[in-house]
A and B are shown apart, each in its own frame.
Chain A
Amino acid sequence: MSLQSRRATTAYIFLAVPLLFFLGIRIAPTIYAFLMSFFKNGGTGFTLQNYQQMFTSHTFWRSLLNTLLYVVITVPCQLAIGVGLALMIGRVKRLKGFYRMVYFLPYITSQVAISWVWRLMYDPSNGVINAFLGWMGIPAQSFLQSTNESLMSVSVVIIWQASGFAMLIFIAGLEAIPKMYFEAARIDGASPWQIFWRVTWPLLNPTLVFLTVTGVIGALQTFTQIENLTGSSGSQAGGPLHSTISMVVYTYNQGFSNFNLPFASAVTVVLFVLILLVTVVQLRILNRSFEY
């Protein structure tokens, strides 16, 4: 056996178990999920009924709309807070490491535990947030219990927890920009404002693309916070009156509370298509508009 083919054999041996795993745990189930979305619940044979039922369901459209709202509310806020913090921390000389450490802390803590803490803080009658608002002369709000405020309240929790990640990546992105660009701009007499928009921001493009794509994909999959902020025993999460329901919460309710797995599969197929679409479109647009 030649050296070349002996090496190749070694490679195949190394890859055998992981490849079987990828095929069995990732690829086959992906195909099965698509097939399953055409199954009849509890019966045999293929049907389009799941999709028909889904596209005529008011709750489905509500969950789709809410999911898009979570995206457009949480992602820009995370990015804005993240870049603001990164710039401020980059500007000060003392306590840099301390600030970075504290602001990143929420990101690593349990989403379930944090959601329950916020749920307590949001309590309309005895919550700390309303106490604080009252102290400032603002009337008490009902937050998670009002259909108008619930989605925003969930979004605040998500933003509170995820902004530190954007900050961290922005700090790394800022540090990767060669200092001479800033010096050159300063020597040319550019104002701090001009330096930010003409030098820093364009050079942060790769960071921005990365954070936007991961942020949008994460927001499309919002589940844990909604489940723990709005769920209670005996009733499904996503309330009040479906005002906070996301596509994943809808999938979970349909699949694992109502035990209609084929229908739930159809919803996840839509989610999959959405994630794919968003990724492709975003990469194109963001890469193009910042090219020089």
Chain B
Amino acid sequence: MKSRTNVTAIVIHIVLWLGIVVVAIPFLWMILSSLKSLPEFYSFDFLPKKWDFSAYTYIFQQTQYLRWYGNSIIVGVIVTASELFFASLVGYTLAKFRFRGRGAIFVLILSTMMVPTELLVIPWYVMSAWLHWTNSFWGIMFPGMIEAFGVFLMRQFMLGIPDDLLDAARIDGMTEFNIFLRVALPQVKSSLSALGILTFLGNWNAYLWPVIIISTQGMRTLPVGISLFSTADNGGGLQWNLIMGMSTLAVIPIVLVYFIFQRQIVEGIALTGIK
């Protein structure tokens, strides 16, 4: 029995390692390809004939790649901060206050979860054109400033905060807003960080809305920059070494951050998935 268990375990390990190869090859291929010179893409070779870093110097010197990076960081940070603040404020209010219309407001907010972004992008675009929001940071960001999913999630966690804790703060004379900020929020730190990670990742990788609303090179976010650089900017053939260099620069920092914070990220996403 014992040896059979060991055999099973070894077989499982082998299968899992084969799977890891499948996961790893695209990443490996991306990095290797970014170090080839363009003519090398006309024939097949696994390793670059000559390790060529010119794609990276070109990306940094001849394209607005760093600017796209900055744009993505600005959009990601502001949207995440806004979503965390408003989602927890609304979640807290719906969980801990009694007032007329509470149920109706909650249902109204939840109902917006059923509407896909695809249906909304066209009205948003019309609205942005009318209000001159196109091709601006606000134009990229406004749809994500607060979302029903975050409200729902934060309400679930806020329900778990004991009322006595809040009442004690009231007796101490704290203002209602301070009670929310200094008493309630610290109680739901872990769910805040989970929601924050999800929101930031979602914005970092967002493509459909940014590609619609952005019209100049300087305003592009990273995904839009890579996508349009590969197609629209270079009418002729695909400049594979540059595309792979840009992809590597976009993917590797995220992978490193993920390796450092993987416990929080993985557990945060599992937590929000189950709720």
**Residues on A facing B (Cβ under 8 Å):** 4, 7-8, 10-12, 14-15, 17-19, 21-22, 25-30, 32-33, 36, 85, 88-89, 91-95, 99-106, 108-114, 116-118, 120-121, 125-128, 131, 160, 165, 168-169, 171-173, 176, 207, 210, 217, 220-221, 223-224, 227-228, 231-234, 247-248, 251-252, 255-256, 261, 264-265, 268-269, 271-272, 275-276, 279
Contact = CB atoms under 8 A, between A and B. Distances in A.
Chain B, interface size: which category? 35 or more
- 3 smallest beta-carbon distances between A and B, as pairs: A29-B123, A113-B247, A8-B99
A27 B90 CA distance: 17
Contacts of B33: 117, 120
B22 A221 contact: no
Given A26-B112, A26-B115, A100-B266, A10 B97 contact: yes
Interface in B59-110: 86, 89-90, 92-93, 97-100, 102, 105, 108-109
Interface of B: 8-9, 12-13, 15-16, 19-20, 22-27, 29-30, 33, 41-44, 46, 86, 89-90, 92-93, 97-100, 102, 105, 108-109, 112, 114-120, 122-127, 142-143, 145-146, 148, 151, 176-177, 180, 201, 204-205, 207-208, 211-212, 222-224, 226-227, 230-232, 234-235, 238, 240, 243-244, 246-247, 250-251, 254-255, 258-259, 262, 265-266, 269-271, 273-274
Given A169-B274, A271-B118, A272-B116, A15 B93 contact: yes
Contact of A30 (B115, B211, B226): B115
B257 to A, nearest CB: 9
A124 B191 CA distance: 46
B6 to A, nearest CB: 11
A111 B223 contact: yes
State the majority secondary structure of interface residues on B. Answer: helix
A160 B22 contact: yes
A11 B93 contact: yes
A172 B272 CA distance: 11
27 contacts: A17-B86, A22-B109, A25-B143, A26-B120, A28-B123, A30-B120, A94-B13, A112-B222, A112-B223, A113-B223, A113-B247, A117-B30, A117-B33, A117-B244, A121-B29, A128-B29, A169-B274, A173-B274, A207-B274, A223-B207, A224-B208, A228-B230, A255-B125, A261-B126, A265-B119, A265-B122, A268-B122
A275 B114 contact: yes
Given A8-B98, A109-B255, A268 B119 contact: yes
A93 B12 CA distance: 11
Given A106-B23, A233-B234, A172 B227 contact: no
Contact of A14 (B90, B143, B262): B90
Contact of A269 (B20, B24, B119): B119
Nearest to B111: A27
A271 B9 CA distance: 45
B86 A221 contact: no
Contact of A93 (B9, B240, B258, B270): B9
